[in-house]
A and B are shown apart, each in its own frame.
Chain A
Amino acid sequence: MLTLENLSKLFGGVRAVDDVSLTIREGEIFGLIGPNGSGKSTTINLITGLYTPTTGKVTLDGHDLTAMAQHERTSMGVARTFQNIRLFGNLTVAQNLWVAQNGHEQRRAHFLARWFKAGGEHGPDIEELLRFSQLHSKRDLQANALSFGEMRRLEMARALASNPRVLLLDEPAAGASQEDAQLLAERIRAVRDRGVTVLLIEHMMELVMGITDRIAVLNFGRKIAEGSPAEVQMNEDVRAAYLGGSHKNEELVHA
């Protein structure tokens, strides 16, 4: 459903993403891994429209997203979280979800109902998301009063509030304990079971190898491997890439 075709992004002379092509299928959990600085986050930013690609294109179900503004991509069904959590700390937990209701269906509501109806943060969709994220009891707290783990959960819930078709998770396990990572894995599966396709960027190999259906590996902006977790772990290029500059190799082999 989500396709990247020969996607490249140059920053000055640096090729952050270099001719990457990927196809993510409907309903799968797709992992995107690679050493630090290999272009994973840049790829997400190209998909969501935070950056404009130098060449190549991004399509979702055949619709070309490349020229679309970010808010248009949201209504097409693309949503994301950030590596360093970006919540609206000045709003309550429920309001964080409320402002994010910008999906295709939600946009069709009458202008006045959409913007000037008070108390909409108590709507059924928001209640459901709050329960799903186990944040119901915190609904009226300021978002910046949450714990780290709760913030991560809220950010994912906020991304789901627009009823996306594909969710891009940028290192959701960063800073999480093993235990939290286990819960996160269940949560990601639950998101997939809601009918949302997931693109997961993650360094925690155990998590990636455990829950993804397929994985692509980036190194220096180029795709060096793609396949099932088992295939990727056996790939010589992948091993070399991880041996090249980081200790992650051990994790990769033993995961």
Chain B
Amino acid sequence: MDFYFGLLQIFGVHTLLGLSAYVVLLTGQVSMAQAGFYAIGAYTAGAGTAMFGIHILPAIIVAGLVTAVIACIVGFPALRVKGLMLVVATLAFGEMVRLFFFNLTWQVDRGGELVGPNGAEGFRSIRYFPEHGWEVWHVTAFIWAVVIVVMVALWWVDRTRAGAVLRAVGHDETAAQSIGLNLTAVKVGAMTAGGFIAGLGGGIYAHTVTHIEHGVFGVLLATFAIAYPILGGLGSVFGTVIAVLFIQGFLIEGLRFLGDWRSLLFGALIVLAMNLRPTGLLGEHAPRWFRRRKTGSEPLELKEAN
């Protein structure tokens, strides 16, 4: 049973990672910096509970906020470039973060034991959950509670003008500028929100594994982060969730029995999925049952038939 709870935890933190890339991708920006933000969140929240003994909830919120501030600062120069150049710039940022934590040694004495990031050794003993007697299912429920809060928040934002503006910028920047939208503000705003979500996800991730080290937060993780919303489609947050289940659940766990053949099939299945559903598994539009009912007034339609 614990195995399945463990899986659900992985799905949960990866959903947060994917959603952080989803927000940025809505504005048309392919960001490879999400793994870096995730790392910042992980180390910050880990430091919060393991080194300073604060509660998990404020720890991950602080992690989210710190990451959001960094994402905002990174956003200004990074979002001046587009397309491939942005991919390269954000990739470089991600590596910079990884190397920063590779070299970071900062330990404090907690009850006779040194805790904190220790360079290449990583950050061990982020043991908030076991120390406070959380069962596996408690942790799983906590993670999914956070995931659901974030999903509801994003789903709600999508129904506001801010959501429409994000999609407008993603569709056509020139047109968006011509109608008076401040592209920099919109893009940096999306990057900041994405940073917050990645920070939350990283913060939780650090506590589920208790030991984090720089190698985890590399290019592969950044690729997963951006693959989720691309594979799932930008119609709604559910696309990202479906993509996480598809990749983490089906391709990585479900096909484990195939042994070495799995990696081969993994690539092939993603290519197949993108060919069959070029706009993502759930497509570009929100699922029908979540769409607002039409409000157009019928009599006018007759009058206006031109």
Contacts and interface: CB of A to CB of B under 8 A. Distances in A.
A95 B178 contact: no
Interface string B116-141: 00000000000000000000000000
Interface in B166-181: 167-168, 170-172, 174-181
B180 A103 contact: yes
Nearest to A80: B178
B306 A118 contact: no
- Interface size class, chain A: 35 or more
B301 interface: yes
Given A122-B295, A136-B304, A89 B182 contact: no
Interface string B257-291: 00000000000000000000000000011000000
A66 interface: no
Interface stretch (A68-76, A190-198, A218-226): A68-76
A38 interface: no
A99 B179 contact: yes
Contacts, number: 109
Interface string A110-154: 000011111111100000000100101101101000000000000
Given A91-B167, A136-B300, A137-B296, A162 B161 contact: no
A17 interface: no
Interface string A61-97: 0000000011101110001101000111111000110
A212 interface: no
Interface string A146-167: 0000000000001101100000
B157 A88 contact: no
Interface of A: 48, 50, 69-71, 73-75, 79-80, 82, 86-91, 95-96, 98-103, 114-122, 131, 134, 136-137, 139-140, 142, 158-159, 161-162
7 contacts: A73-B180, A82-B178, A102-B181, A115-B165, A116-B162, A159-B178, A159-B179
Please name the 10 residue pairs, one residue from A and one from B, whose CB atoms are nearest each other, closest first: A74-B180, A102-B180, A86-B175, A137-B301, A100-B179, A118-B159, A115-B162, A71-B182, A88-B168, A70-B177
